[in-house]
């Protein structure tokens, strides 16, 4: 088992968190190697080298962005079926670990490292046209979004001083502040949405969530049922909302309510496409890029994971 540590996660607090809990992790799970993630671009080389050395159990120690980085590196290996993936939640939201299970915590840190509890996790493959007009491919294991959620993630990831100050008091408060700031400066995105091959009529998109886990951004949660290994994507869509309508959706999501609210739509799919005449933020497990076209496709049972 090899742990890939992101010391910069949780606004720079990842290393200190890890140093405080590492001895307890070794007591519970036995010996393992720890490798720091040098840079996101270098991680695929680290993963490939570890796999070539015979490593088969890979643990992401960090937040949801770290989970995303390791999953993307693993999905590009040729022997993915031989791999087992797990995680240690050192981030601020740790959506990959939700719903939280008290028995997995060590000193307040959630884990997914139980060798006796495995599942074949679905993965979302995202192909998108980036700002350089190139087609890129990424993978997401928790959820992906565009609209307010993606823009709020982009703002939160800027690590601005006043957000950092509020986050020291409460991560949840910093997340909600980022969401509210985004809502009051946000303009609905004109775009076309496709379920299969043909694009629909143009819509004004407020938010689009493509999920394999209903939890996202702190305490926010959809009530649309979905499981990590159920072979489907759940699509949650908000259209043409005013700023105050978007605030009401935010408040309802804190109560884990979404289905049936005005101007919301939900359905199951295995593929969805979005294109827009203007670039939009595209979020994948908390990581954000910019695109003008994106296709989301389900890859069923793509990666063995600790539950």
The domain that holds 44 is classified in CATH as: 3.40.50.10330
Q: What average pLDDT does the segment 162-187 reach?
A: 87
Q: Tell me: do 278 and 194 sit in the same domain.
A: yes
Residue that is last in its domain, among 116, 136, 158: 116
Of 83, 99, 116, which residue sits at a domain end?
116
Do 195 and 289 belong together in one domain? yes
Task: Please name every residue paired with 266 in a beta bridge, in sequence order, or none if there are none.
Answer: 236
Do 29 and 65 lie in one domain? The reply is yes
249 and 278 together in one domain: yes
Question: Is residue 206's pLDDT more than 90?
Answer: yes
108 lies in the same domain as 141: no
Which one is predicted more confidently, 131 or 296? 296
State whether 68 and 164 are in the same domain: no
The residue out of 116, 142, 174 marking a domain boundary is 116
Residue 77 placed within a domain: yes
Rounded to two decimals, the pTM is 0.93
Give me the pLDDT at residue 10, please: 85
Confirm whether 30 is domain-assigned.
Answer: yes
The tens digit of pLDDT for each residue in 16-63 reads 999 999 999 999 999 999 999 989 999 999 999 999 999 999 999 999
3-state secondary structure of 94: coil
- Both 93 and 158 in one domain: the answer is no
The alpha carbon dihedral of 150, 151, 156, 157 has a sign of positive
| Residues 144 and 68 both lie in one domain | no
pLDDT band at 243 (very low <50, low <70, confident <90, very high): very high
Note the helical H segments in 118-185. 148-157, 161-169, 171-183
Mean pLDDT of the chain, nearest integer: 93
- The answer to whether residues 229 and 220 touch, using CB atoms and an 8 Å cutoff, is no
Residue 194 has pLDDT above 90, yes or no: no
Please tell me whether residues 137 and 106 are part of one structural domain.
Answer: no
Rounded to 10 deg, the angle between the 43-52 and 64-75 helix axes is 50
Are 133 and 111 members of one domain?
A: no
């Amino acid at each position: 088992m090899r742990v890939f540590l992101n010391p910069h996660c949780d606004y720079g607090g990842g290393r200190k968190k890890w140093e405080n809990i590492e001895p307890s992790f070794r007591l519970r799970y036995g010996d393992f190697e720890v490798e720091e993630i040098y840079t996101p671009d270098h991680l695929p080389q680290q993963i490939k080298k570890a796999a070539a050395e015979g490593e088969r159990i890979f643990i992401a120690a960090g937040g949801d962005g770290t989970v995303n980085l390791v999953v993307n590196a693993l999905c590009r290996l040729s022997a993915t079926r031989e791999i087992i993936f797990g995680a240690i939640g050192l981030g601020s939201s740790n959506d990959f670990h939700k719903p939280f299970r008290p028995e997995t915590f060590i000193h307040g840190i959630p884990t997914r490292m139980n060798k006796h509890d495995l599942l074949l996790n679905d993965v979302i493959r995202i192909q998108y046209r980036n700002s350089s007009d190139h087609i890129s491919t990424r993978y997401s294991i928790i959820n992906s979004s565009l609209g307010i959620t993606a823009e709020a993630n982009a703002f939160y990831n800027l690590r601005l001083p006043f957000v950092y100050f509020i986050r020291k008091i409460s991560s949840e408060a910093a997340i909600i502040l980022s969401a509210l700031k985004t809502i009051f400066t946000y303009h609905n995105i004109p775009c076309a949405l496709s379920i299969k091959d043909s694009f629909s009529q143009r819509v004004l998109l407020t938010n689009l969530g493509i999920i394999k886990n209903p939890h996202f951004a702190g305490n926010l949660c959809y009530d649309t049922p979905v499981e990590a290994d159920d072979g489907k994507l759940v699509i949650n869509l908000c259209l043409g909302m005013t700023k105050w309508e978007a605030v009401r959706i935010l408040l309802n999501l804190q109560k884990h309510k979404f289905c049936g609210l005005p101007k919301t739509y939900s359905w199951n799919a295995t593929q969805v496409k979005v294109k827009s005449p203007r670039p939009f933020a595209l979020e994948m497990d908390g990581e954000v890029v910019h695109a003008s076209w994106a296709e989301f496709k389900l890859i069923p049972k793509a990666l063995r994971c600790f539950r």
